[in-house]
Structure 1
Amino acid sequence: MAEQIVRYNLQYAVLKNPRMAASLLRLHFHDCFVMASFDGANQFIPAPNSSLETLISNFKQQGLDIGDLVALSGSHTMGKAKCSSFRQQIHDASAEEEQYDKYERYTTFRRILRSICPRSGKDNRLAPLDFQTPARFDNNYFINILEGRGLLGSDNVLVEEDHEGEIRKLVWAYASNQELFFASFANSMLRMGNINVLYGNEGEIRRNCRFVNT
């Protein structure tokens, strides 16, 4: 009954604290990519300002393709990020950009973020990755980045730096079809869960997930 027990306890934990869902997704991603290794984290975990080329490379090193990259990026429809993760992009806009009406929606979004995260200090202040439905797992993430309202630079590059258009097509597909996103996300989660699987005595179940057992 392992799966039923895990499912029940996860549902209880998320009901008690909705942010726990995002935290567990993040934990799963980090553990699959770096096996909770400090050196691996510095090498393989994409930075919040990563370019699209870097993101593709990071995922490719784990045997994941651009379809997995786009689907798994959708996990940013939940959770929060520290000010230090998005400060640069919200304070780097040009004066010319801010004066055009076509940027009005993004400018308003940026002003909200600036009120949360000033040019210096307040590094640990938090902002939701998805301002529309921050505690619900849905496809709003893709709608947001199509409108230039991704919180992290590494979110917006999926659209801004996709010169071939293949990634943008997936973003559009998920933005317009939530069930398609759910199915793709589940499939990519399974693929990610099969990275570097340990068997027998190769690994350990940690008593504290931050530290190797002593």
Structure 2
Amino acid sequence: MEGDDIREMYQRSDKLHGVKYVNYISDGDSKIYKGVVTESPYGETIAIKKKECINYVQKWIGARLRTCKKGKPGIGGKLTAKLIDSLSNYYGLAIRRNTTSTENMYKAIWTTVYHMSSTDDMPKHHYCPQGADSWCTWQRANAKGPLAQYKHKDALLQIVLDVITPIYEDLSRKELLERCLGDFTQNNNESFSSLVWRIAPKIMPGSAIIV
């Protein structure tokens, strides 16, 4: 039903409103997007680009990490729920703060991994912003003077890095990051849906007339 509705919206948008939707903001379901492209509502000359809702993209990494945790015996106590939440938030911020450049987005995503896996013997803060105002405590200490007194917090263990690195490699692919350019979200749609469900909850029966 959702796919049919969206295809109908594309097909009638120009006739009813003089509007052509050139971006399709996805929630991860590629079947609906393929259906819209197949319909070619505006002819062959106007391509409809797929964009990702960055809120959903952030959820992907959290879901992947939690699934990985379940499938890797012995890592549960190291890849904690708190750590997964932190990694997900940092990943989401890296995208939101760099929605005009895939290169900056990629760099910011991996900055998190390098920063959190740094140790006194092997600091990896080369991507972290420099200066006394940096969010990176190592870079702040470096700007203020010698680093002899600086001590890193507990770093990501190698067993955790081995598990999360393939996930980060997959979710920092250029083609994915290109679909995140523009800072698109489905917040408006979700807000409208929330309002509708408050008026007509899914758990209560009702007819179209009542809605």
Q: TM-score normalized by structure 2?
A: 0.28
Higher relative contact order structure (alpha carbons within 8 Å, sequence separation ≥ 6): 1
Computing the radius of gyration from Cα coordinates, the structure with the larger value is 2
